[in-house]
Amino acid sequence: MRGIVKHFPGVLALKGVDLDARPAEVHVLLGENGAGKSTLIKVLSGVYPPDSGEILFEGKPVHVRSPHDAQQLGVSTIYQEFNLVPEMSVAENIFLGREPLLNRRLGIVDRKQLFQQAREVLSTFDIQVAPETIVKRLGIAQQQMVEIAKALSLNARVIVMDEPTAVLTAHEINHLFKMIQDFKQRGIAIIYISHRLEEVKRIGDRATILRDGAAVGTVLVASTPVDELIRMMVGRDLKDKFPKLSVEPGEEVLRVENLRRKGVLHGVSFHLRRGEILGVAGLVGSRRTEMARAIFGVDKIDSGHILVRGQRAEIKSPSQAIRARLALVPEDRKRHGILPTISVKHNITLSMIKRFARIGILDLGSEKKAAQGYADSLRIATPNLDRWAMYLSGGNQQKAVIAKWLGVEADIFLFDEPTRGIDVGAKVEVYQLMGELVKRGAAILMISSELPEILGMSDRVIVMREGRIAGEFTRAEANQEKILSCALGGTFNQQTGTGAEA
């Protein structure tokens, strides 16, 4: 790709970016949110037409006007949100739109052939998924494998992966990386987008760093220290990846006793103190999100108590939770956090709107002023607050979600994967924000699948497994091995022989 320029109304998203991918290499695309990574790969994969610049494939300029064009060329993209039809089988998904036909004119699908070909693709790359399985019954990691199989069945020469590991567990990541090594041996070029620098070190050959829509440089990963990569991404030195403030924990503000929900939570108990960040670790599927939703009154609980500031609290709906000054920053920002077609301003003020209302009528002036205040204090980057929230970068969207809770004086925060899909710079800002919150006397429950984050930010860590609390560690005790073995239960012990503490 050469000199790619892309405008959006009010924003120059790409200012002439070059990117080249060579066969049998993993080319990492690094950059903060809003740096232009997603836009660049959308241009490459035919979603957006570039305003200027050209794409060359095997030395020849090509026109990529649609995702179909890109696929024909051999460029397949695996997005964070999968493009699978959940109700269809694995095989049908792999060959969607290219089904082998019994009768060309009538369009009758040759199902035997379909499953046979799917099986071949899957077995070639050692993907352990049965072609007959309905996709919605698969876990996220397996769905990703189906996406990869789909790309491979198109004879992809270039595979673009947009943060493929964001939703995977450590074990699944290992498997994915083994596959990527396999692709390399087959001469496939991989363009790999990730925020996790340790992964980049593990898997990347070269890296191109984007900042503010321009390529800052392309480096060899092996010979570039992580600090240097970070400096190139953010344009400054980030001294501390986890700016942890030490706050003396105060009195208990939240106590959860024996929370049960049939088939989901099997007696969850813990407590949370003022000024404390309580990390909640666990594997995907350990019901951490479900626990947060139950506490916040979204899902009904069958039995158990929630005590807020020493008082039994009846929390049957989010509005009751908010009245008890609880706040939930949900895991899935796009589905649960952001109101996409509403202005940033109105996103921020949604929960605190009562403050500006007299008999239901709003004082728009003071609403605007308040929104501006929160946007400034959280440094939400947007040309103006009337912009729809969907046009903000992930990190700024997350800040808007957090801003929403500042105005209702929430002081018990349930953060669910607070930095998922956010780049390094914005991550640090979110951490700093969490630090400020606890310093002001808030308490934070932080669900996270990133162990460094759990270890770096938590005062105390609880580990969940299958709807139960499987263990608890102080900050001093906690380390990767202990938390992992606790989260995995017995399996990990047998495999590695290390003793579990929990």
Where along the sequence are the contacts to another protein (CB under 8 A)?
Answer: 2-3, 5, 7-9, 15-16, 18, 51-53, 296, 298, 317-319, 321-322, 328, 330, 335-342, 346, 350-351, 353-354, 357, 360-362, 364, 391, 404, 408
Category of 36 on φ-ψ map: left (φ > 0), alpha (ψ -120 to 50) or beta: left
Cα separation, 444 vs 456, whole angstroms: 14
Report helix, strand or coil for 495: helix
Strands, E, within 314-388: which ranges? 326-329, 357-358, 361-362
CA distances from 79 to 83, 275, 455 (A): 8, 38, 29
* Amino acid identity at 318: P
What residues are paired with 415 via a beta bridge? 329, 446
Q: Show the tokens assigned to 210.
A: 């984007």
Cα separation, 63 vs 73, whole angstroms: 10
Rounded least distance, CB 432 to another protein, Å: 24
Q: Which of 190/328 has CB closer to another protein?
A: 328
**Can you spell out the DSSP letters for 118-176?**
HHHHHHHTT----TTSBGGGS-HHHHHHHHHHHHHHTT-SEEEEESTTTT--HHHHHHH
Look at residues 468, 142, 143 and name the one whose alpha carbon lies nearest to residue 288.
468
Cα separation, 248 vs 139, whole angstroms: 41
Tell me if 340 sits within 8 A of 389, measured CB to CB. Answer: yes
Q: What is the largest CA-CA distance in the chain?
A: 74
Q: Which of 5/245 has CB closer to another protein?
A: 5
Q: What is the pairing mode between strands 158-162 and 75-78? A: parallel
Rounded least distance, CB 138 to another protein, Å: 23
First to last CA, the chain: 52
Look at residues 193, 208, 196, 201 and name the one whose alpha carbon lies nearest to residue 241.
196
